[in-house]
């Protein structure tokens, strides 16, 4: 773009008041040759041939050659940096010969033109190392851009996998609990068994809706919009009501809007913590969820009365690892282990830092 501007505007200024100007066709050729340099680092040979052809036609029309060498010089530099020196010299010699045959210049003019051409080529050869460095930087930038794109795609796939893990783990474990209750009560209390089956139906429908919402992110924008709102702490009451075990919620501080990503991560951590209680805490376990809104952080603690589930020194399960990775993704911190006070049980505690405004609210 800059070369096109310099060649056209510069030629217009230089030839002002001169009997011979560039003319409309000349300005078009100058502009096009400059614009053709845009992707010279990607396709150096093709672009050089286009630029050289434009300038050759321009010169054979008898137009002023003052700034016409700029585009060929930059195009030749890209070709030389790519290691195709023969192409530059061959095209230059062929173009000079064609120009001489068509225009029939005087000896003095032919020698002057030859001196200009050789001088430009020598200068271009000297400047080639610089252009090679620029081309190398361009290729490296392309590689980094592609690497960032692949990393972003990989992170998105991991996020979707974590979402599916939480959704399916939570709902399937709840369905398993309710199915066991229904089988146990089928003969003695059919009405209670019917309630368990109704819960299974509702839970499976909710699971399908959440899975559809998660998988919709795999489609291009506009192809599949989420059918349910993104889960957040505003759905915590419904989550605990359908937890499949006694679960109480306590709110400390004034609830306030949270960043969408933090809100969703907090919900999924509570969901996974309740799923772990159902899986590992044993019959009769109950859970208490405490959500504390601090000026600078959101703190969530899930306690249960089911006793310690992991032998000393055992590695954490996938559920705890997934919860910890969710917290770390947003600068948070998660701990999970036996509760420090009687009657024992298990505690999951996560802290998410929140931005603080001037009045102390996030």
pLDDT, mean of residues 120-129: 72
Q: What is the pLDDT of residue 335?
A: 93
Q: For 223-275, how does the pLDDT look when each residue is reduced to its tens digit (9 = 90+)? A: 444 455 667 898 888 888 877 788 899 999 999 889 888 998 899 899 888 88
Cα separation, 32 vs 26, whole angstroms: 10
| φ and ψ at residue 299, rounded to 5 degrees | -120, 130
pLDDT, mean of residues 103-130: 75
What confidence category does residue 301 fall into, taking pLDDT thresholds of 50, 70 and 90? very high
Pair type for strands 297-304 and 346-353: antiparallel
Select the more confidently predicted residue: 252 or 216.
252
> Does residue 314 have a pLDDT over 60?
no
What confidence category does residue 309 fall into, taking pLDDT thresholds of 50, 70 and 90? low
pLDDT, mean of residues 3-15: 76
pLDDT, mean of residues 112-136: 73
Q: What is the pLDDT of residue 315?
A: 47
Q: What is the pLDDT of residue 222?
A: 47
Domains along the sequence of the chain with CATH: 2-104 (no CATH), 231-362 (3.30.565.10)
Q: What is the pLDDT of residue 20?
A: 67
Q: What is the pLDDT of residue 290?
A: 94
Q: For 144-160, how does the pLDDT look when each residue is reduced to its tens digit (9 = 90+)? A: 888 888 887 777 677 77
Q: What percent of the chain has pLDDT over 70?
A: 82
User: What are the DSSP calls for 286-337, one per residue?
Assistant: -EEEEEEE-SSEEEEEEEESS---S-TTPPP-HHHHHHHHHHHHTT-EEEEE
Q: What is the pLDDT of residue 333?
A: 93
pLDDT, mean of residues 328-356: 85
CB 303 within 8 A of CB 339: yes
Cα separation, 319 vs 336, whole angstroms: 11
The CA distances from residue 9 to 4, 141, 179, 189, in Å, are: 8, 32, 81, 93
pLDDT, mean of residues 155-182: 72
**What tokens does 293 get?**
């809104």
CB 299 within 8 A of CB 289: no
> 260-269, 271-280, 294-303 — which one is most confidently predicted on average?
294-303
Predicted TM-score (pTM) of the model is 0.45
């Amino acid at each position: 773009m800059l070369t096109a501007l310099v060649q056209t505007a510069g030629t217009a200024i230089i030839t002002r008041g001169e009997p011979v100007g560039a003319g409309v066709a000349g300005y078009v050729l100058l502009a096009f040759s400059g614009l053709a340099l845009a992707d010279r680092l990607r396709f150096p040979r093709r672009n050089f041939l286009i630029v050289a052809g434009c300038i050759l036609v321009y010169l054979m029309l008898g137009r002023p050659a003052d700034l016409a060498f700029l585009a060929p010089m930059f195009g030749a530099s890209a070709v030389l940096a790519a290691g195709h020196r023969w192409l530059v010299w061959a095209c230059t010699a062929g173009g000079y010969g064609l120009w001489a045959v068509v225009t029939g210049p005087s000896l003095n003019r032919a020698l002057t033109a030859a001196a200009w051409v050789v001088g430009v080529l020598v200068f271009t050869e000297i400047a080639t190392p610089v252009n090679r460095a620029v081309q190398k930087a361009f290729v490296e930038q392309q590689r980094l851009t592609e690497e960032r794109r692949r990393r972003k795609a990989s992170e998105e796939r991991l996020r979707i996998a974590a979402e599916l893990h939480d959704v399916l783990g939570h709902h399937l474990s709840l369905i398993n609990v309710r199915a066991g209750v229904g089988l146990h009560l089928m003969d003695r209390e059919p009405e209670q068994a019917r309630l368990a089956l109704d819960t299974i139906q509702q839970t499976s429908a909710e699971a399908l809706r959440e899975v559809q919402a998660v998988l919709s992110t795999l489609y291009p924008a506009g192809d599949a919009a989420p059918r349910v709102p993104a889960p957040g702490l505003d759905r915590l009451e419904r989550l605990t009501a359908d937890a499949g075990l006694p679960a109480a919620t306590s709110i400390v501080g004034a609830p306030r809007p949270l960043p969408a990503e933090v809100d969703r991560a907090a919900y999924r951590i509570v969901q996974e913590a309740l799923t772990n209680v159902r899986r590992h805490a044993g019959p009769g376990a109950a859970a208490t969820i405490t959500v504390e809104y601090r000026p600078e952080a959101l703190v969530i603690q899930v306690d249960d009365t089911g006793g310690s589930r992991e032998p000393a020194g055992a590695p954490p399960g996938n559920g705890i690892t997934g919860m910890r990775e969710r917290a770390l993704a947003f600068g948070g911190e998660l701990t999970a282990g036996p509760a420090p006070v009687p009657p024992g049980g298990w505690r999951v505690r996560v802290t998410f830092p929140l931005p603080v405004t001037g009045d102390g609210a996030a």
